[in-house]
């Protein structure tokens, strides 16, 4: 699938890792699970609003706040993206190049994870066919 370079934009994606238990000041698990995220990776992808009738019928009113990425498997792998991964479009993550600070520090009590500054997240598990990968994104802010 060819796309003109000007139609592509910078997209940052951080993979969601398995959650870890929160540890209190005495070293015991509190029962709360903290999400962990890997280093955010920069991609040049074509992001488009939802405009196809089939997608609009499927997602209804939510389609206003959704975006779609359709790319070749050569530019991005389906193993690079999964359900609920944070995505930054049109902005650079505040922790670009570092793991997102939500995991506890070894030997110290767990800290409350910092709020993510992402503006989208992967709303459906990406779909891969032999020729393309389809990634559906939902805005963190409702309606847009």
Domain ranges of the chain: 5-139
Give the residue-averaged pLDDT of 66-77. 85
Give the residue-averaged pLDDT of 100-119. 56
Assess whether pLDDT exceeds 60 at residue 112: no
| CB within 8 Å of 96: residues ≥ 6 apart | 12, 40, 42
- At 78, which helix (H) or strand (E)? none
Q: Report which DSSP code applies to 98.
A: S
Is the pTM higher than 0.95? no
Triad 59, 64, 66: Cα angle to 5°: 70
Assess whether pLDDT exceeds 60 at residue 114: no
Give the residue-averaged pLDDT of 126-134. 88
Lowest mean pLDDT among 2-11, 15-24, 42-51, 66-75: 2-11
Instruction: Write the CA distances from 115 to 93, 103, 118, integer angstroms.
Output: 12, 12, 9
Q: Which CATH superfamily is domain 5-139 in?
A: Bacteriophage SPP1 head-tail adaptor protein (2.40.10.270)
Q: What is the pLDDT of residue 110?
A: 45
For the chain, the average pLDDT equals 78
Q: Alpha helices of the chain — where are they, by DSSP H?
A: 53-59
pLDDT tens digit string along 12-40?
988 888 888 888 888 888 888 877 888 88
The residue that leads in pLDDT, 130 or 3, is 130
CA distance 144 to 137: 11
């Amino acid at each position: 699938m060819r796309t003109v370079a000007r139609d592509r934009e910078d997209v940052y994606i951080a993979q969601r890792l398995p959650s870890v238990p929160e540890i209190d000041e005495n070293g015991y698990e509190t029962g709360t699970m903290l999400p962990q995220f890997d280093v955010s990776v920069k991609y040049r992808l074509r992001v488009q609003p939802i405009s196809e009738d089939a997608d609009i019928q499927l997602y209804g009113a939510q389609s206003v706040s959704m975006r779609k990425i359709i790319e070749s498997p050569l530019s991005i792998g389906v193993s690079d993206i999964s359900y609920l991964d944070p995505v930054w479009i049109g902005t650079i993550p505040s922790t670009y190049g570092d793991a997102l600070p939500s995991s506890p520090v070894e030997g110290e009590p767990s800290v409350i994870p910092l709020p993510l500054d992402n503006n989208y997240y992967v709303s459906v598990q990406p779909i891969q066919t032999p020729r393309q990968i389809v990634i559906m994104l939902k805005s963190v802010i409702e309606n847009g």
